[in-house]
Structure 1
């Protein structure tokens, strides 16, 4: 095994420049192991100029392979000259940080690359111990990184060679601007910087001027767009029957995996509990869950042990879950650009997918803005109103159970037992853990007290 820790070496210039974008053979083999048969558009544009030593602004729609576009040049640089604390990747969300780390470890497994994920919700002492070992690549959210730069003895980034900001528009929109400014002040001016984003906002342009030197702009998509293989639909429904229509669609498309986006943490939790009471394997993912529960929920969905993930916009950016067949906008996004990112969780890397947006009497203007942004009129998803209305009684009962469980969970959180973590994902909700009579669409279960 080639190991960066033991044998830094310089590789000869790669052959087959056009076939592999200049990526060396050992990394091409790692790509093959991951099932990456050919480079994506953004990788074809960005990797050659990155390998030339230029700063890069990468603009591409979600699901276009942006992570590979910056990971491969960084790993090739590490191969040529191994160094501790070589690269820093900044991301807006914890889940995206863990996902990027997984890709770095997979691509760099044969060369001994060490990574550290530094995000909130995890014990700072254990993170400080990992940083003390000086990994090659640090993947972090801005807020927690600042905590370590200010408080962790001996940790600094004065020798940093690469800075990457992934989903840069989201980092800045989440009010991390002051943290990013602080980070820029404590890292070397002589470094390589990659700025990757699905959208180019005024804040990103400002950051570009402050952080990049003579960058090359690699724009695969110049307008807000969704991928061609995504089938997009809407349903115009009365607000009071949203739950019924959701259950109907999940039943009609049974066998697929779904990401259902809700506007609030509370609604994601409520709908997940309601669906479970009907026998549908659903799990929530939102910001009020502990980090361990969030990662657990994501892993259960990725492993297909849960078929429905109820998520807030914490999951709308960057997450790559190949088997998502359908995205449902249960609550329409208030920001039109978030629609692009939500529906981008399906139809990734050339696969096909489906999205369905619920439009109530209160959402018409927001929906019109989305259509204007993507430049197309969406067709209505075919539904049978009579069949949906037949579900009202069972859904109402499931809603009632969900409300009881939510109330019990809130009370439990206020007075948890010693050493016991609140069951904030609802998997082990106390009290009412019964299914609605006749509610299971995959084998009916009896209701008891």
Structure 2
């Protein structure tokens, strides 16, 4: 709602004085950039009249406008997730007509039902239905496995939030003790979980905070000093906070829930030692009979790994982790992994090709199937090469890998989500857990090392009843990996149909772009080496031998001009090829 000036006079407007108001500590803890950026309170002043206008909520976005960005150009942004507009609890006439009867089987608090209705979540998924009563009503520990995209976050989030609302935790001197500790493998997933829980808990007093690497220590301390009810943390940062003796996290006297989300992935990422120490600390600090342990995984097979025999060295498996958890009683098992292990709406396909042909086939696939596409690579070097090549080919492509700064990773994810036709090229850092909605296609540029990784990658599309397409590019050296994959999946994968006539112009574009990319990379590398030698020679006050200096350092102006002219010529040639249609005019051909 926009507020106008008092109708009385400008003098009356300027004569109004400021009045102190109470502020939610959750807002205060976010810092200047993310906290006090809007109005905190509105109160009618006697003797004045106001005009008001309704602003359409559909036009409100969390992204800053270009005008705002220019005004605050020099202001440094804080790390962490941005504050998103809260979901309006006031229901529109359209929202009032939404049928929410599917939720009646769960004893949900009215506040949660209102949020679910506002979010258009009209019915629970199977994992959400199966997990709710064992967690909320029966107070059981659970071990749950469900495929990617099945709604696991709310499967543990809803019963936890419901418990906190119906049975509020005790408060000592207005300081709410920690009630819920959620551990998850990556920063992005932790922030995603916080976002989902905040949206559902909107309109309640429940406070949720992340505890992740990359967040400034001072800000992390401010967030925890606000005494959040729920802390979502990555293993490394959580253990650091515990070792520092942070009071809110270390006081587990009122702990009600411990959640290990994507537990199998945490093991595979090398967090076993940290998890073991965290579980040991929880076991010593919190009464085991009081808190519930909820463990979620994408597969149940990793839970069934046999324990090591006496005298045999134990491996860091999920079963080994489970054996170190102190459960209240025998945990309930919920296994919703399908026999096929991939989503029903997923169409799987493959192309047998040579390694040097893969770029052309990816180009062909993107030309035939528009939409949001994720291309998975097995190495960071491959991601960088692909990103550079397909940028030259004028594809909107965004890289994502573990060596990138967190801010850049989040920015690329946001750009990918904002476009209807683009490519995200990544390593397996994005294969699990991240909420990337409406992904149409997944391309396995290199064969997945295991069937689990293949399932996790493919699970980025065809989520929650949707449809999607998965394509594997299989080189001769990857045939054995493909045979293992089909054996584990218990089904073969159909050949992807390819029109070889369309590959002719595509290969021309790929060849020119590859040569240009290689020359640009060589020039960039040589320039970096030249600058390195020149810098250190200047610092040591010595002259460099011509045999040591790279050729680009001793190149004449004419040499550099010829090289730049070569780059410009190749760019023009590539632009000409890209301007031509893949199908010649007058030729009838579907594409």
The CA RMSD over aligned residues, in Å, is 2.8
Instruction: Quote the offset at 1:49 in angstroms.
Output: 0.8
1:128/1:148 contact within 8 Å kept: no
SS in 1 for 2:294: strand
Residue 204 in structure 1 maps to residue 318 in structure 2 = yes
Residue 180 in structure 1 maps to residue 236 in structure 2 = no
Q: TM-score, normalised by structure 2?
A: 0.66
442 and 116 in structure 1: CA distance in 2 versus 1, 3 angstrom threshold = farther
Corresponding residue number in structure 2 for 1:122: 215
Residue 144 in structure 1 maps to residue 237 in structure 2 = yes
222 and 17 in structure 1: CA distance in 2 versus 1, 3 angstrom threshold = closer
SS in 2 for 1:68: helix
Q: Deviations over 1:177-208 (max 9, x none)?
A: 11111111222233111000012313223333
Q: How many residues align?
A: 417
SS in 2 for 1:217: strand
Corresponding residue number in structure 2 for 1:426: none
| Residue of 342, 345, 358 corresponding to 2:460 | 345
Corresponding residue number in structure 1 for 2:189: 96
Instruction: Quote the offset at 1:135 in angstroms.
Output: 1.6
Instruction: Quote the offset at 1:406 in angstroms.
Output: 5.3
| Residue of 340, 346, 349 corresponding to 1:233 | 349
Instruction: Quote the offset at 1:147 in angstroms.
Output: 1.2
Distance in 2 between the 1:319 and 1:335 partners? 20
Distance in 1 between the 2:323 and 2:145 partners? 16
Corresponding residue number in structure 1 for 2:430: 315
Distance in 1 between the 2:235 and 2:578 partners? 44
Corresponding residue number in structure 1 for 2:113: 28
Corresponding residue number in structure 2 for 1:61: 147
Corresponding residue number in structure 2 for 1:391: 506
Distance in 2 between the 1:26 and 1:441 partners? 55
Distance in 1 between the 2:357 and 2:526 partners? 26
Instruction: Quote the offset at 1:16 in angstroms.
Output: 7.6
89 and 440 in structure 1: CA distance in 2 versus 1, 3 angstrom threshold = farther
Q: TM-score, normalised by structure 1?
A: 0.86
| Residue of 253, 266, 291 corresponding to 2:381 | 266
SS in 1 for 2:365: helix
Q: Deviations over 1:235-273 (max 9, x none)?
A: 11111111111111111113x110110111111121112
264 and 441 in structure 1: CA distance in 2 versus 1, 3 angstrom threshold = farther
Q: Deviations over 1:302-332 (max 9, x none)?
A: 1227611001100000122221000111111
Corresponding residue number in structure 1 for 2:333: 217
291 and 109 in structure 1: CA distance in 2 versus 1, 3 angstrom threshold = same
1:95/1:315 contact within 8 Å kept: no
Q: Deviations over 1:137-192 (max 9, x none)?
A: 21111011111111264343323221111111111122211111111122223311
Instruction: Quote the offset at 1:442 in angstroms.
Output: 10
Distance in 2 between the 1:92 and 1:305 partners? 28
SS in 1 for 2:414: helix
Unaligned segments of structure 2, at least 5 residues = 1-23, 27-99, 170-175, 306-316, 533-563, 583-591
Corresponding residue number in structure 1 for 2:489: 374
Distance in 1 between the 2:487 and 2:512 partners? 39
4+ residue segments displaced more than 6 Å: 15-18, 409-415, 431-435, 441-444
Unaligned segments of structure 1, at least 5 residues = 6-14, 416-430, 445-449
Corresponding residue number in structure 2 for 1:358: 473
